[in-house]
Amino acid sequence: MFKNLRNRLIIINVTITTVVLLVVFSAIYIIYTRSADNRPPMPNETHFIFSDDVEDYVEVSIRQEKETAARELLIMLIVSGFVIDFVVAVVSYYLAEEAIKPVREAYESQKLFIANASHEIKTPLAAISANLEAADIHGNKWIKNVEIETAKLTKLNADLLSLARSDINRGAAAADADLDDLAREVIDSFESRMKEKDFSTKITVHGKVKINREDFSQILSILLDNAVKYSDSKIRLSLSNHELQVSNDGAQISAKDLPHVFDRFYQTDKSAEGVGLGLSIAKSLAERNGWKIEAKSGKFTSFILSF
């Protein structure tokens, strides 16, 4: 994120500098060449001094000198422009780094705090869940409500922890894996939730693929969970050696909402379950592995992971 911000600052500075240089240098070149072209012709008295051949030779020589000077000026302006742009880019890099350094440090501290806090919250939540199970109280709607809300809070805490870890940890390890087996493990975990869905898969994986198993499984799990929540009846999954696509026939995502579906806490359907962290986690996991994830919406809403 901060790398992209720094690069945008550099591009903006270099672009502004380039535009200013083009305007100034173009003005210098035009003024210089017009000034040279407006040089007065040789006076008529020269006809008495030089023959026509000598006069033509002098005129040609002057014209050639003008063209040479204009060409040299143009080359000098172009070279100067590149040098100035390079200097501006280098200076902008260091200035941008200094400008975003406090923001980066604050952001990393915030992520570390969320990770630590989520980790600490996980223990009492697990204790509450264990005690509710041990109590073995059935038929009490108040206890049932506590169990439901505890499960939601546990899921939210797990999502926050995953999001914080995905931002903090970099350079995730990759190893050879059988994508077919990996995908089917995740799909099997959704079997009970898929009973009322028209779910179909198309897996065309050949051999093993070098990939981060844990991150791939989590992204697939997030995309399937999203599809189950929002589909009307049909869910489609296709997987090849370099691409995963999960589609559902739920309501079409508007053009206004589509660019924001991976934003944290953003929900196109405000009445839906969850708080809008799943797709954001998927994007963070994809980015830290150098993968690309995108969303498309039409008759089917599709999420495509390229790796």
Four-way CATH pick for 175-306: 3.30.565.10, 3.20.20.70, 3.30.1330.40, 3.40.50.300: 3.30.565.10
Higher pLDDT, 208 or 104: 208
Percent of the chain predicted with pLDDT > 70: 81
Say how many C-beta atoms besides its own lie within 10 A of residue 200's C-beta: 10
**pLDDT reading at 268 higher than 80:** no
Per-residue confidence band for 7, with pLDDT thresholds at 50, 70 and 90: confident
Mean pLDDT of the chain: 79
Average pLDDT over residues 277-292: 85
pLDDT digits (tens, 9 = 90+) for 102-153: 877 777 777 667 666 776 777 777 787 777 777 777 777 777 788 778 887 8
pLDDT digits (tens, 9 = 90+) for 24-75: 888 877 777 776 555 555 555 544 455 556 656 666 776 777 777 778 778 8
Rounded to two decimals, what is the model's pTM? 0.55
What 3-state class would DSSP assign to 174? coil
Per-residue confidence band for 274, with pLDDT thresholds at 50, 70 and 90: low
Higher pLDDT, 269 or 189: 189
Average pLDDT over residues 147-173: 70
Burial of 134 (0-12, 13-18, 19+ CB in 10 A): exposed
Query: How confident is the model at residue 19, as a pLDDT?
Result: 86
DSSP code of 233? S
**pLDDT reading at 176 higher than 60:** yes
Residues 6+ apart with CB under 8 A from 176: 208, 209, 210
CA 59 to chain centre: 61
Domain spans in the chain, listed from the N-terminal domain onward:
1-168, 175-306
Say if CB 164 and CB 282 are below 8 A apart. no
Say if CB 203 and CB 166 are below 8 A apart. no
Distance between CA atoms of residues 52 and 26, nearest Å:
37
Say how many C-beta atoms besides its own lie within 10 A of residue 286's C-beta: 21
Distance between CA atoms of residues 97 and 93, nearest Å:
6
Per-residue confidence band for 239, with pLDDT thresholds at 50, 70 and 90: very high
